[in-house]
Amino acid sequence: MSDNDLSVISNIYPPEMCKLNNIDALEYAKKRILDCHNKRFKEKRVIMPFVSFVNYNKNGQSFKVKDDKISISRKFIGEVFAKYNDDVLRLASGYDFIGDTKYIYSIPLSYPMANGKNMIINRDPLKAIELGNGRWKPLIKYAQDSITLSWFPLYLEGTPIFPALIAKMIADEVNVPAENILYNVIKFNLHALVSAAFQLRESDNEFARYLGSVAQRQLETIAELRR
């Protein structure tokens, strides 16, 4: 993979996706299999072999996490489908497939604000406050020189103004203009995703072209080109 490909990829995908750490092809394949069959449980990653037998669908059933188990239950007619609370990038990097999603989250980013602090946006949707009706709000962490959000939404199916609503809630708490938050988050995400979608599809590397297709699907979902 070329240095240019790696530079584009590093803007939107976890660095470990392209770091083999001097392991051979078989060991890397084992690592990816383990990565694709686990779930967070009590702040740990646990292996879930049964996930292999439950296909993904954005309208599927959510996993239920309790103190002693992780389960999926419902009366299914035909195939059992599970829904992950992930977006296109997460499905591709975590489970190695491209799928349609109900959510799109911002890539990790940081930018300076007019008040002299840095706005830092992470990508951890599990750290959230429930608002009701299937909606959540990111956690806010304050430091002397920064404000950190656990995540930021770019898209929620059926609620096109959700990113603006979250921006307004955050703005009211941190005392910065909501439009500035929304503008910067969208700007940095589009710059990274458009670059990946267009540049990686011309790559000589098959894996890089695959990641370019993932970035394109992320953009299509944000633009509501996929239903």
Comparing 194 with 14, the larger pLDDT belongs to 194
**What's the pLDDT tens digit per position in 80-135?**
888 888 899 988 887 888 999 999 999 999 999 988 999 999 999 889 998 887 78
The count of domains in the chain is 1
CB 5 within 8 A of CB 195: no
The pairing of beta strand 109-112 with beta strand 118-121: antiparallel
Evaluate whether residue 92 is within a structural domain.
Answer: yes
Evaluate whether residue 131 is within a structural domain.
Answer: yes
Which residue from 194, 202, 134 is spatially nearest to 162, judged by alpha carbons?
A: 134
Evaluate whether residue 138 is within a structural domain.
Answer: yes
pLDDT band at 16 (very low <50, low <70, confident <90, very high): low
Evaluate whether residue 69 is within a structural domain.
Answer: no
Over pLDDT 90: what percentage of the chain? Answer: 49
Show the tokens assigned to 75.
């009366």
Evaluate whether residue 112 is within a structural domain.
Answer: yes
Backbone conformation region of residue 74, classed left if phi is above 0, alpha if psi is from -120 to 50, else beta = left
pLDDT band at 171 (very low <50, low <70, confident <90, very high): very high
Which residue from 212, 151, 143 is spatially nearest to 185, judged by alpha carbons?
A: 151
What stretches of the chain show up as alpha helix (H) in DSSP?
3-9, 25-35, 88-95, 162-174, 178-199, 206-222
- DSSP state at residue 15: G
Evaluate whether residue 34 is within a structural domain.
Answer: no
Evaluate whether residue 61 is within a structural domain.
Answer: no
Helix, strand, or coil (residue 122): coil
Which residue from 215, 216, 203 is spatially nearest to 6, judged by alpha carbons?
A: 203
**What's the pLDDT tens digit per position in 181-192?**
999 999 999 999
Evaluate whether residue 150 is within a structural domain.
Answer: yes
Q: Is the pLDDT of residue 50 over 90?
A: no
Residue 126 sits in which domain range?
A: 1-10+85-227
Q: Is the pLDDT of residue 44 over 80?
A: no
Specify which residues 46 forms β-bridges with. 39
Whats the size of the chain, residue-wise?
227
pTM above 0.75, yes or no: yes
**Residue type for position 111:** Y
